[in-house]
Amino acid sequence: MFDSGVGSFGISAQLSGTETDCALIDLMSELHSCEAMLVERKLAVVAEFFTRRSAEHVEGGTWSSSAYELAESEVGAVLTMGRAAAGKLIGLGFALKTRLHRTRAAMARGELDSYRVGLIESATANVGDELIDEVERLLLEQVLAPAVDGGVGLTGRRLTAAIDRIVARVDPEGMREHRRRALADRFVGVSAAEDGMARILGSIPAEQARAFDGRLRELAMSVCRHDSRTYEQRRADSLGALVSGSTVLVCDCDRDDCPQDRSGMVIIRRPLVHVVINESALTAGSNEPAHLDGYGVISAEHARDIAKDADVREVRVPETPVPASATVYRPGAALDTWLRVIAGSCQWPHCDVPAWNCDLDHNVPFNHTDPTQGGKTVASNLSAFCRNHHRLKHSGKWRLAPNLDRSITLTSQTGHCYRTRDAGLLTGQQEPPLPEGGTRRRTRLENKAARIRSERKHQQAKIRHRTAKHAERKRRQTFPISTPRQPRPREIIDYGNDPPPF
């Protein structure tokens, strides 16, 4: 086992409430250093695990995952993080193990936190192995706090600028390669934020970024002075205009004499966005939440705003019992939509890839030779996985076992088990699909409908009984039935020896 290299700081972190401000600052600094030491140990463990996976892995073709992806899946599952975060952790740990020895030593001493170590790793990624030690030496002289009173280290843009200056002097080819790598790694990402909003993060060439910024400014300034939005709000709305292909940001003043020229405005296309909402939530006043594909839960009011200009279609529940299409490899439109509505996102642990960007994969493999004998194309045998985790499933390194509650238990190579969770709007509201060949179970909605039908049948029987009694009573009142009175037999009393009274 790894020695953590740090002691227990739990006792020293306990606060009595009587500490001076100076003592709190000192304790804060101490704990920050301890955190750096623990993170260094964690990164060392991650790097060792990745090294072992790399040594064991043999590439097996297009549908085989790489050693990096295999390690990434296990690290992400056990540390409860997504694919990107796990991959970043592996890359940083491996760089500290193989290249950045001085940086790792400084981190182990608590002199560098994980944020600054990440900046150093990223900025020196393309420095040659023969020069990295010299670059590190010169860099740490500036990054670490100087040995003088009040000396502070470098962080943020000042840190990366210092690295760039050293790399430009020691390894100019490395700096050019860094530029080529950055260009190859350009991207634009969209991630969920709070309150029905999202964040856009990307890395594009600087000249394109300046052109993009200028275009947003042009659109934001194209409205008249009576527009009610702030400048920043108009810039945000301009992005939507660019996405739809519009050449104008429409002014919201609603004035007949608005001077804005809209003669050249053309809407090229409307992007496809999936929102799952209960029918009752479309009614004003309802507070039932909805699910926006690729984002998550949104409010009912937000969903109704989206639905105003959208094509609303009813989602049909797949047929039961199993239809003939169960022996066809690709699911039909109704089943396809239903499974994505239920899943909400990729069903691998901690993966947030939108359901409509996923593959629908058979849990029990489909038998192409004899479809009636293999895994059928039914709801209980299909799961949504993103392309990366779809390939990971087929690598044979993970074992999958479907559960009756629609979840899947994934078992890694080390024997650790992780149970998946649906993320869709109907999570927890639907009964699980019946297994192949199993007895059909009714959904909650079907149970409710059955109870209503039973109650109605009972009430109707009571009404029929009361109606029949009432009709009989009326008939007797209208047509009385006379029956001849039969004489009652005379009762003979035995007085014994006593004479009858006179």
Whether residue 268 is predicted with pLDDT greater than 60 in this model: the reply is no
Distinct helix (H) and strand (E) counts, the chain = 14, 10
Residue with tokens 């020069």: 131
What is the b/e burial string over 465-500, where b = at least 16 CB atoms within 10 angstroms of the residue's CB? eeeeeeeeeeeeeeeeeeeeeeeeeeeeeeeeeeee
What would the two tokens of residue 182 be?
């950055």
Look at residue 423 and give its three-state secondary structure.
coil
First to last CA, the chain: 125
Among residues 178, 53, 199, which one has the least CA distance to residue 126?
A: 178
Round the average pLDDT of the chain to a whole number and report it.
80
Please give the backbone phi and psi of residue 132, each rounded to the nearest 5 degrees, phi first: -65, -35
pLDDT exceeds 80 at position 427: no
Q: 37 pLDDT band (50/70/90 cuts)?
A: very high
Cis peptide bond upstream of 321, omega within 30: yes
What tokens does 227 get?
A: 């527009």
pLDDT of residue 98: 93
Q: Round to whole Å and give the CA distance between 4 and 56.
A: 26
* pLDDT winner (highest mean) among 263-267, 315-319, 375-379, 483-487: 375-379
- Cβ–Cβ under 8 Å, residues 377 and 339: no
As a whole number of angstroms, the distance between CA 221 and CA 251 comes to 10
Q: Where is pLDDT greater, at 59 or 327?
A: 327
3-state SS, one letter per residue, for 151-216: CCCCCHHHHHHHHHHHHHHHCHHHHHHHHHHHHHCCEEEEEECCCCCEEEEEECCHHHHHHHHHHH
pLDDT in tens, 397-422: 888 888 877 778 888 888 888 888 77
pLDDT at res. 104: 94
The answer, yes or no, to whether residue 2 has pLDDT greater than 70, is no
Residue 213 neighbours by CB distance under 10 Å: 11
Give the best-scoring range by mean pLDDT among 43-47, 58-62, 197-201, 334-338: 43-47
Weakest-pLDDT range from 133-142, 151-160, 377-386, 476-485: 476-485
Residue 341 CB coordination number (10 Å): 21
Q: Which residue has the higher pLDDT, 495 or 142?
A: 142
Rounded-to-integer distance, Cα 236 and Cα 229, Å: 10
Residue 415 structure tokens: 């024997």
Q: Which residues contact 127 (CB under 8 A, 6 or more apart)?
A: 135, 167, 170, 171, 174
Per-residue pLDDT band for 308 (boundaries 50, 70, 90) equals: confident
Cα 198 to Cα 21, 191, 195, 367, distances in angstroms: 39, 6, 9, 42
Decide: residue 425, CB within 10 A, 0-12 exposed, 13-18 middle, 19+ buried. buried
Mean pLDDT of 258-274: 71
Tell me the pLDDT tens digit for each residue of 140-169.
888 886 655 666 778 887 888 888 888 878
Token pair of 371 as six digits: 């479809």
